[in-house]
Chain A
Amino acid sequence: MDVRQLQRQWIDLISALFREGFLDAQFTQLQQLQDESNPDFVVEVVTLFFEDSERLLNDLCNVLSQQVVDFNRVDAHVHQLKGSSASIGAQRVKNVCISFRNCCEERNLEGCFGCLQQVKQEYSLVKGKLEALFGLEQQIVAAGGSLPMM
Chain B
Amino acid sequence: MAVASEAPFHVLAVDDSLIDRKLIERLLKTSSFQVTTVESGSKALEFLGLREDLERPSSATSCQHEIEVNLVITDYCMPEMSGYDLLKKIKESSAFKDIPVVIMSSENVPARINRCLEEGAEEFLLKPVKLSDMNKLRPHILKGKSKEDQQRSNSNNTIDFSTINSGSRNNKRKANEEGLSPERTRPRFSNNSTNSLTVL
Contacts and interface: CB of A to CB of B under 8 A. Distances in A.
Contact of B17 (A35, A44, A84): A84
Contact of B26 (A41, A84, A89): A41
A87 interface: yes
B143 interface: no
B194 to A, nearest CB: 36
B23 A83 contact: no
Contacts of A29: 128, 130-131
Most buried by A among B19, B127, B131: B19
Contact of A44 (B22, B106, B130): B22
Contact of A48 (B22, B27, B128): B22
User: Interface residues of A: mostly helix, strand, loop or mixed?
Assistant: helix
Interface in A15-41: 26, 29-30, 32-33, 35, 38, 41
Interface in B99-152: 106, 127-128, 130-131
B190 interface: no
B131 A32 contact: yes
A113 interface: no
B20 A33 contact: no
Interface in B2-28: 17-20, 22-23, 26-27
Interface residues on A, range: 20 to 34
Contacts of B17: 52, 80, 83-84, 87
B26 A87 contact: no
Contact of B19 (A32, A33, A35, A88): A88
A88 B18 CA distance: 12
A87 B77 contact: no
Contacts of B22: 41, 44-45, 48
B30 interface: yes
A125 to B, nearest CB: 20
Nearest to A82: B106
B14 to A, nearest CB: 15
A43 to B, nearest CB: 12
B16 to A, nearest CB: 9
B30 A33 contact: yes
B127 A83 contact: yes
Contacts of A83: 17, 19-20, 106, 127
Contacts of A49: 19
A48 B30 contact: no
Given A33-B26, A49-B19, A79 B77 contact: yes
Given A48-B19, A52-B19, A86 B127 contact: yes
The 3 nearest A-B residue pairs measured at CB: A33-B26, A87-B128, A48-B19
Given A26-B128, A45-B23, A83-B19, 13 more contacts: A26-B130, A29-B128, A30-B23, A33-B26, A38-B26, A41-B22, A44-B22, A49-B19, A52-B17, A52-B18, A79-B77, A79-B106, A89-B128
Interface of B: 17-20, 22-23, 26-27, 30, 77, 106, 127-128, 130-131
